[in-house]
Amino acid sequence: MTVKKYVIAGMLLLASFALSTRVFASSDVQKVIDETYVQPDYVLGYSLSSDQQTETLNLLHYDSSQDTQIKILNTSDYASIMNVADDSSLQLYSSVKIKKLGSKEVLTVNIVTPNNITKVTEDMYRNAAVTLGIEHAEITVASPIAVTGESALAGIYYSLEQSGATVSDEAKSLAQSELSTLSDINAENTGKTGYDADKLNVALTDIKAAVADKGSSLTQDQAQTIVEETLDNYQLKDVLTSNQITLIVNFALNLSKSSIIKDSNFTKTLTSLKDSIVSKAGSTFSNINVNFNATQALTKGGNFLTNLWNKIVTFFQQLTHQAILSLD
């Protein structure tokens, strides 16, 4: 073997080692869950009365014989986490329980009081949790009274940060923006012909995966193409309004600039989330291409432009050729 071949072989070996290390690397957030959450962590809303705290803990299946990690999310901490003004009149009722799972298990969210969480679905929480850097955990949400459920995400941040995880303002902002966007779109379209929340959640997993694949080089036009082609695949493009589509495009652009998409397990977790939504959705996706690859939407657009240019060039070549023949 020549020196050149030795060098190439060595580079390939190093590259494969680096890739394998990257594939199994977990986010900082997931590492803290794996290493610190020996017991489930409970975060209760500040506005709960004593009786409501007891009721909520029972709903979250609190075991007083072994569970000890109970935290209260007050208005000051909420304001700090959400980057809003501290207002003592804030009402915080939705509460969460976070339990670690094995590395091969899927991220799950269970809303045990579905009638009292009026705006956010389980899969919306899951999508936002992936953006936050959670790969596998069991999250349970409960509220003794009817609330939107949006503050439960702040409870997840609070639990993670109090347990030693570094949750960047960027990640918190993105996850909150995603949850707000999805829940608003869902609220505005529920009952509308052709709309389905499962389709929206799956579409977003594909959009996020394509953004991660493209990275920080993603342009406004590319983000628009990815979002529109993905929504079209899931039969939602003509259902959502242009303003709602713009909200998703803006989220995609912001996501492209974040560090979370650089995590090697980000796309893998999105795939697991997508598969689990599709598998439980019954016939919802029976006439839809669930193997849709949003990144290919960019390639398709590129091929279209290339083909168009080639046709234009060919046309003028033929025109020139005919002109030369006529001169002869």
Q: Residue by residue, what is the 3-state secondary structure of 23-53?
A: HCCCCHHHHHHHHHCCCCEEEEECCCCHHHH
Shared domain for 36 and 98, answered yes or no, is yes
* pTM, entire model: 0.81
Domain contains 123: yes
66: phi then psi, degrees, rounded to nearest 5 = -140, -20
Q: What's CA 192's distance to the chain center, in Å?
A: 24
Task: Say if residue 117's pLDDT is above 60.
Answer: yes
Task: Say if residue 284's pLDDT is above 50.
Answer: yes
- Gyration radius of the chain over CA positions: 24
Q: How confident is the model at residue 264 (pLDDT cuts 50, 70, 90)?
A: confident
Q: How confident is the model at residue 322 (pLDDT cuts 50, 70, 90)?
A: low
What spatial distance separates the first Cα and last Cα of the chain, rounded to whole Å? 61
Q: How confident is the model at residue 11 (pLDDT cuts 50, 70, 90)?
A: very low
Domain contains 180: no
| pLDDT greater at residue 227 or residue 321 | 227
Quick one: pLDDT at residue 169? 86
Residue 310, both tokens:
């080639």
Domain contains 295: yes
Shared domain for 82 and 138, answered yes or no, is yes
Task: Say if residue 19's pLDDT is above 70.
Answer: no
Give the structural domain span for 318: 191-328
Quick one: pLDDT at residue 303? 45
Overall number of domains in the chain:
2
- Residues in Cβ contact with 145 at an 8 Å cutoff, skipping those fewer than 6 apart: 52, 93, 116
Q: How confident is the model at residue 37 (pLDDT cuts 50, 70, 90)?
A: very high
Quick one: pLDDT at residue 254? 95
Shared domain for 146 and 6, answered yes or no, is yes
Quick one: pLDDT at residue 307? 44
Residue with tokens 């594909």: 206
DSSP 187: H
Shared domain for 128 and 256, answered yes or no, is no
Shared domain for 201 and 307, answered yes or no, is yes
Shared domain for 224 and 315, answered yes or no, is yes
CA angle (219 as vertex; 214, 223 as ends), nearest 5: 75
- CB 107 within 8 Å of CB 126: yes
- CB 147 within 8 Å of CB 94: yes
- Residues in Cβ contact with 31 at an 8 Å cutoff, skipping those fewer than 6 apart: none
Which H or E run includes 246? Answer: helix 242-256
Classify 110 in phi/psi space as left (phi over 0), alpha (psi -120 to 50) or beta: beta
Classify 61 in phi/psi space as left (phi over 0), alpha (psi -120 to 50) or beta: left
Q: How confident is the model at residue 167 (pLDDT cuts 50, 70, 90)?
A: confident
Averaged pLDDT, 238-264? 94
Shared domain for 1 and 139, answered yes or no, is yes
pLDDT cut 70: percent of the chain above it: 83
SS3 assignment, position 207: helix
Quick one: pLDDT at residue 319? 61
Expressed in percent and rounded to 5, the helix, strand and coil fractions of the chain are: 60, 10, 30
DSSP 107: P
- Final residue belonging to a domain, choices 151, 167, 183: 167
Residue 143, both tokens:
């509220």
